[in-house]
């Protein structure tokens, strides 16, 4: 029995490149289509990417000699699932078109994240939200993953929410430049500098975790009921978002109990032994100055969330620091893990 | 009438170098002694500093050919005031020795900051705290300035405290490497990285603003009564600490009213037209992505506090971003402004 | 008697911003026109530049409230001279149009640099080349300055050429990102990286110094007769091009003699005490690890060429390192110095 | 049959850490001893390295719980070979002591590189130089690898030397900070900066390639006969030395012929299929702006030399750019490849 035939939409962009890298020799999926803009369509991937491939490993052979197509179901026949790394100005429409054509859409774009029947799926956190897919009227279903900044944070909050309940969360991010794509942030703006603003980011950070941590009730997702305040900053780091978190809980607990919860936290991806699932979902570092992007970025092949500095907070209950790889765990890797989950759980109908 | 004769203690260190740079051609002060360790003592400043001068302008001529002495009153006779940029492992004792010898000590070190009768002087904020100097038993008096990280923050809080009262403050800093001195932070630790820990910093940030913003009562400083939570981070920036602040006030107000308060804020240094006083104490930038170290660092010759992004906060009342130059406004420049203030107000007895 | 009325063409670009900064309160020149693209024309400079002003000081008041015009003589009446920081895709034509309209053009663009009757003027090096202006057929004359990378190198070669003759020169540059303008180099390409290629740069570096160091003969510039080999690299530095130079001379000499020649080198700008002329044209640093962009960039307000590490070379005769500020000495500052020179020498006819 | 028992000397340093990382699960070698200074000896490796492990992957389990010993044969009994990453102030003596005790020494230190009977072994380049080991009087033999900067350059020169002969070579390096160890380069010296000097580096770069490329004659190494001129610079890059090379050959050739030679170049490590041997020794990139540290560093697991921009040179014959990973191919990886070679070729006598 063969692999699932998949396509990558937005294949020339930053997230698309990661998809192509991470899908090389994948156990379940075979990439048979690379979709991009009209300008690139018709050309070999390697020719278009000559000076645009920015991942620090070579273009995988399977992709190098593939011809790019446009992002429409007609031009990518035979795919059962697409990974979308499209820009948000086109993602909404294109993804809907694929869903209508009966193709499952695993999207990294923000466009459908606020739809009531579209889960922001974080495979270890809320696989039960897959139930709401039924409510989607299209034949193909759309699944999104969360914004890169809150991916790791939400994972650390999940066991706290289940065990103690959450009152409020304070988040300050120091985000890597790769989050802005390519060409993205001009070097004159960020070299030796901090930019205390990222367009639209704080809004997402203050809203997505609650939906991701919500419950399904009456076929709909009911967001968790707590407030978040966020400051988002850009710093001169290539990959890896570092986030300072303070959290107020509903019940009393201790630093040691939280560490234990985190150490033991795992979800369906671990049970099902999905190919992209990290063995350790949350890795707590005892050193006083961790996590750090340079040292902890590739923990669990970029899929583990690294945490450190858990300590009491004078205003909230606890404070800690979270690092996750923004283009792997926070984007392409998370989307692939989501696809593995829906495939193994039988949500994906292969033609 | 001549200038006040002053000495610089710790003249070879990072803060010492800034003192020497900023005191060139000073209107009130003439540097007549450069104090450093036993190893440097006896040598010309320019010879010792050949590869250690790290300020991006040349060693001022007045200092280049001065002979370094040890940091003891006997070896620096004739000084009425010393600026101390000493390391905290020696500062406490040396500063006390100078005070006992009748020399006014303007210190950038943390050692005496927690003494009840030593003000953490921020010239625009709490000049009334100079009253407590009387309580010091030494003939010479000791005055400190605050930690570099909270210098600008405290200035922005002062008018809020006076107008509305403060409930609580949340602070996340992204601090420049120059704050760690030289050699300081190894490049392998910080290039393209974030380090979410600075030894002893969060403790100072959570305690010093309240003392700085306190009232004098019964000859003692009574700290302001609010709580602070702090996360402190090191980022790859040369100079300039960027701080995300969220604040809860006791009374309701608006963004526009706070901007107005900040625009109009000034203190004794401005009234007295002190040489190092910035014309504009707080400069609010309306652009959406300011302040930034690279663009706003030298605002007001490094003495102005630049603020931006004031907006409502879902958990606190308001959030905003503060930038101040950590080795000018946050260290040497603040100390010199303090010295100018005590001189003009008659606290300095010149022999 | 009033100041010369001047315009800045390309006023919104990187070089244009430097022109505007450096021309504030200029002794000879008064900026009366700011020219830019059709898109910007008609708007106030401060409104257009809200998030595009990237010089680390505020927009000078004189420019902030000026209305931008298009770059054509009809829309900038009354200017006797224009400073051109235009992109090379439009500079050639626009500059010719101004020259035909009788306006002196001081250009930082490469378009006219290869014209036989247009000098690549480096004010201390080849003011005698101004003689060829007569050969230009337009009423207004065009003067260019050299490429930023070779500006400082050419200055160091001038006294060597005069005293010993030059056989060949080897140049390897490590160039700052500001040389590429804004948005210019994407941060993903240069943060923690070296890019060993800059489009068209090596060609300019291997050709311009010979013309700049040439003699006038029969009303034409005859380039100096030596060969240059160049490798040009981009490095993560904001401002300041560092260049490794090896040179083979026609006569024997010594390190000490060359240092003396450099220390004594000066030209017409120094004789005429032009406002932008550095007191010290070449500043040789004896420290073993200089020059460095961070420490020496602003030497002589960014107009001095800083040199170090002069030593014998096993293949050539001598090797050394040159630093100059690429957007001041290498662009806007050099152009303004050129304008000051032609003005003082009477080449500029004021209406 | 078991693996060869080896020790790592200088196990806590930068190169030592790489040895430990790269020797995890090695096919031939089993690490049974970790040697370090008196201060570290007696402690578990993981305890000593808590905040000193700077490689971006975790301490391998095999090393974490090993007890550190002092660097003397008595305290590391049972080892047949040691990898030395010792500092040069102690390496010379310690390495001799091990050789006298009958242990093979594979050294990354410079101390014995100039010994006539000690090869600077570059496994693909000069395995024939192993013949001179006989001349060493100690029972154990000492083998060094070259300085990190010239490792890749020498590999690219080898096929040129064999095919055409070399007249002279010009080298300008832009070297990563990891080359200076830890704490190494202070961040204040290198962030956003270039330092045009590295102590003792140019001397090594101008001398080692000739020995490495030399012939054995009469039991001694006779260096190749050509001159090198070098400028060495430090740039803000974590790992990866980028080198601009210009070369003058004895015979005429073409860009295409050289590319072919490089593409086909391989040596004994490839023939013997040594575990650390890269499949492709030299990888030529056709893109105009390569190699780059960020994109090409890990080519061939950090063991491939990446080259680009081969083009004619106006003064020499050809110029090109070389990148190699300074702590893998330029240090620990090269040393391990050397050990694999001597093991497979029977030079290593196992007890």
Give pLDDT tens digits for B52-68. 999 888 999 999 999 99
pLDDT at C1 (0 to 100): 62
Domain count, chain D: 2
Residue C244 lies in a domain: yes
Search chain B and give the residue with CA nearest C51: B287
Residue C349 lies in a domain: no
Q: How far apart are CA D243 and CA D171, in angstroms?
A: 7
Q: How far apart are CA A118 and CA A133, in angstroms?
A: 7
The answer to whether D320 and C172 have CB atoms below 8 angstroms apart is no
Determine how β-strand D220-222 pairs with β-strand D166-175.
Answer: unpaired
pLDDT at D10 (0 to 100): 97
Which residues of B does the annotation mark as catalytic?
148, 241
Is C51–B288 a contact, with Cβ atoms under 8 angstroms apart? yes
CATH number at residue D68: 3.40.50.720
pLDDT tops 70 at residue C70: yes
Residues B49 and B96 in one domain: yes
> What is the interface pTM, i.e. ipTM, of the complex?
0.95
Report the mean per-residue pLDDT for chain B. Answer: 96
CA gyration radius, chain B:
19
Q: Which of D148, D171, D305, D147 is nearest to D248 (CA)?
A: D171
Residues C32 and C95 in one domain: yes
Search chain B and give the residue with CA nearest A172: B172
Residue D350 lies in a domain: no
CB atoms within 10 A of CB B237: 28
The answer to whether C99 and C140 have CB atoms below 8 angstroms apart is yes
Residue D8 lies in a domain: yes
Interface test with A, best of C17, C187, C297 (most A CBs within 10 A): C187
pLDDT tops 90 at residue C50: no
Domain hosting residue B131, numbered range: 4-147+332-344
Better-scored residue on pLDDT, A307 or C57: A307
Judging contacts by C-beta atoms under 8 Å, the chain C residues touching residue A326 are none
CA of B118 vs chain A CAs: smallest distance (Å): 26
B54 touching chain C per CB within 8 A: yes
Residues C229 and C176 in one domain: yes
pLDDT at B350 (0 to 100): 73
Residue B350 lies in a domain: no
Judging contacts by C-beta atoms under 8 Å, the chain A residues touching residue C195 are none
Is A309–B242 a contact, with Cβ atoms under 8 angstroms apart? no
Residues C29 and C170 in one domain: no
Residues C141 and C168 in one domain: no
Q: What is the pTM of this model?
A: 0.96
Q: How far apart are CA B75 and CA C301, in angstroms?
A: 38
Residues A293 and A167 in one domain: yes
Give pLDDT tens digits for C75-124. 999 999 999 999 999 999 999 999 999 999 999 999 999 998 999 999 99
Judging contacts by C-beta atoms under 8 Å, the chain C residues touching residue B298 are 56-57
Q: For chain D, list residues with pLDDT below 70.
A: 1, 351
Averaged pLDDT, B316-333: 97
Residues D89 and D183 in one domain: no
Angle between helices D201-212 and D148-164 (to 10 degrees): 40
Averaged pLDDT, B183-210: 97
C172 touching chain D per CB within 8 A: yes
Search chain D and give the residue with CA nearest C167: D315
Residues C48 and C183 in one domain: no
B56 touching chain C per CB within 8 A: yes
Residue A349 lies in a domain: no
Give pLDDT tens digits for C189-209. 999 999 999 999 999 999 999
| Structural tokens at position C81 | 């001279």
pLDDT at A351 (0 to 100): 67
Q: Which DSSP symbol is given to D163?
A: H
In chain C, the percentage of residues whose pLDDT exceeds 70 is 99
- Cα angle for residues C19, C20, C24 (degrees, 5° grid): 110
Q: How far apart are CA A58 and CA D298, in angstroms?
A: 10
In chain A, the percentage of residues whose pLDDT exceeds 90 is 95
Residues D245 and D265 in one domain: yes
The answer to whether C244 and C321 have CB atoms below 8 angstroms apart is yes
Q: Is D183 exposed, middle or buried (0-12, 13-18, 19+ CB in 10 A)?
A: middle
Closest Cβ opposite residue C314 in set D227, D315, D316: D227
Task: Please compute, for residue B12, the number of CA atoms within 13 A of its CA located in the half-sphere on the CB side.
Answer: 24
C184 touching chain A per CB within 8 A: yes
Residues B16 and B103 in one domain: yes
Residues A166 and A297 in one domain: yes
pLDDT at D350 (0 to 100): 73
Residue A58 lies in a domain: yes
Q: Which DSSP symbol is given to D74?
A: G
The answer to whether A295 and A322 have CB atoms below 8 angstroms apart is no
Interface test with B, best of A193, A200, A316 (most B CBs within 10 A): A193
A314 touching chain B per CB within 8 A: yes
A25 touching chain D per CB within 8 A: no
Location of structure tokens 């013997």: D272
| Three-state secondary structure of chain C | CCCEEEEEECCCCHHHHHHHHHCCCCCCEEEEEEEECCCCCCCEHHHHCCCCCCCCCCCCHHHHCCEEEECCHHHCCCCCEEEECCCHHHHHHHHHHHHHCCCEEEECCCCCCCCCCCCECCCCCCHHHHHHHHHCCCCCCEEECCCHHHHHHHHHHHHHHHHHCEEEEEEEEEECHHHHCCCCCEHHHHCCCCECCCCCHHHHHCCHHHHHCCEEECCEEECCCCEEEEEEEECCCCCCEEEEEEEEECCCCCHHHHHHHHHHCCCHHHHCCCCCCCCCCEEEECCCCCCCHHHHCCHHHHCCEEEEEEEECCCCCEEEEEEECCCHHHHHHHHHHHHHHHHHCCCCCCC
| Three-state secondary structure of B59-121 | CCHHHHCCEEEECCHHHCCCCCEEEECCCHHHHHHHHHHHHHCCCEEEECCCCCCCCCCCCEC
pLDDT band at residue C9 under the 50/70/90 scheme: very high
Residues C230 and C310 in one domain: yes
pLDDT band at residue B312 under the 50/70/90 scheme: very high
Determine how β-strand A305-312 pairs with β-strand A318-324.
Answer: antiparallel
Residue B98 backbone class (left: φ over 0; alpha: ψ -120 to 50; beta: rest): alpha
The answer to whether A164 and A258 have CB atoms below 8 angstroms apart is no
Phi first, then psi: what are they for A160, rounded to 5°?
A: -70, -45
pLDDT band at residue C135 under the 50/70/90 scheme: very high
Q: Mean pLDDT per 10-residue run, chain A (351 residues)?
A: 92 96 97 97 95 90 97 96 95 96 96 93 97 94 95 98 98 97 96 98 97 94 97 98 98 98 98 98 96 97 98 98 97 98 91 67
pLDDT at D305 (0 to 100): 98
**DSSP helix/strand/coil, B143:** strand
Catalytic annotation present for A231: no
pLDDT at A57 (0 to 100): 86
pLDDT at A237 (0 to 100): 98
Residue C351 lies in a domain: no
Judging contacts by C-beta atoms under 8 Å, the chain D residues touching residue A298 are 56-57
| Structural tokens at position A172 | 């300050």
CATH number at residue D217: 3.30.360.10
């Amino acid at each position: 029995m063969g692999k699932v035939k998949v396509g990558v939409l937005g294949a020339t962009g930053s997230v698309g490149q990661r998809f192509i890298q991470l899908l090389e020799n994948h156990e379940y999926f075979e990439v048979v289509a690379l979709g991009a803009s009209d300008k690139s369509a018709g050309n070999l991937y390697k020719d278009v990417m000559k000076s645009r491939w920015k991942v620090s490993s070579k273009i995988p052979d399977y992709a190098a000699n593939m011809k790019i197509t446009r992002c429409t179901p007609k031009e990518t026949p035979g795919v059962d699932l697409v990974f979308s790394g499209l820009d948000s100005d086109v993602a909404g429409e294109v993804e809907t078109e694929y869903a209508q054509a009966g193709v499952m859409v695993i999207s990294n774009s923000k466009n459908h994240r606020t739809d009531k029947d579209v889960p922001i799926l974080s495979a270890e956190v809320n696989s039960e939200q897959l139930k709401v897919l039924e409510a989607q009227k299209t034949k193909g279903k759309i699944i999104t993953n969360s914004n890169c900044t809150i991916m790791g944070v939400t994972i650390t909050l999940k066991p706290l929410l289940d065990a103690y309940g959450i009152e409020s969360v304070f988040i300050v991010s120091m985000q890597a430049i790769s989050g802005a794509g390519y060409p993205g942030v001009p070097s004159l703006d960020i070299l030796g500098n901090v930019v205390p603003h990222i367009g639209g980011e704080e809004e997402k950070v203050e809203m997505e975790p609650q939906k991701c941590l919500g419950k399904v009730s009456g076929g709909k997702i009911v967001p968790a009921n707590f407030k978040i305040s966020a400051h988002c900053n850009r710093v001169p780091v290539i990959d890896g978002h570092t986030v300072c978190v303070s959290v107020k809980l509903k019940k009393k607990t201790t630093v040691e109990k939280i560490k234990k919860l985190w150490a033991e936290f795992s979800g369906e991806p671990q049970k099902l032994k999905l190919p992209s699932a990290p063995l350790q979902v949350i890795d707590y570092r005892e050193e006083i100055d961790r996590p750090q992007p340079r040292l902890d970025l590739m923990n669990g092949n970029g899929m583990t969330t690294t945490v450190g500095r858990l300590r009491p907070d004078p205003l909230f209950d606890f404070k800690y620091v979270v690092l996750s790889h923004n283009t792997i765990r926070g984007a392409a890797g998370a989307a692939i893990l989501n696809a593995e989950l829906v495939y193994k759980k039988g949500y994906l109908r292969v033609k």
